[in-house]
Structure 1
Amino acid sequence: MLGMIVVLLLAWLVLAILGAVIEGLFWLTIVGAVLFVATAAYAAIKRRAGRQIH
């Protein structure tokens, strides 16, 4: 599961960088940044929930 989250974080980061580099694709930067933050928050919540169970 952690591997999949890392892959998603990398994918969103690449989208954000591509959107910033290629003019006219500013929306891609916004989408990449939002998805990166959402995935990171999801991973943090899952880690915190996992600690409370054990």
Structure 2
Amino acid sequence: MLHYALVFLVIAIIAAVLGFGGIAGAATGIAKILFIIFLILAIIAFFRRAS
């Protein structure tokens, strides 16, 4: 999941450099959502492992 978030972040950066604002914004939004999901799942896994 973190891998996909980083891929979308790279796509967003490349699109922003090339001037594709709409695509860059969409890719950034997807990257944020995937990163938040990753964090939530990592925290859940940490607490399940600790107990």
Same fold (TM over 0.5): yes
Q: Which has the higher contact order (CA 8 A, sep 6+)?
A: 2
Bin the TM-score by the shorter chain.
0.7 to 0.9
Root mean square deviation of aligned Cα: 1.3
Q: In the alignment, does 2:27 pair up with 1:27?
A: no
Q: TM-score, normalised by structure 1?
A: 0.73
Displacement over 6 Å in runs of 4+: none
Equivalent-residue separation in structure 1 for 2:47 and 2:35 (angstroms) = 19
Q: Percent identity?
A: 16
Corresponding pairs, count: 49
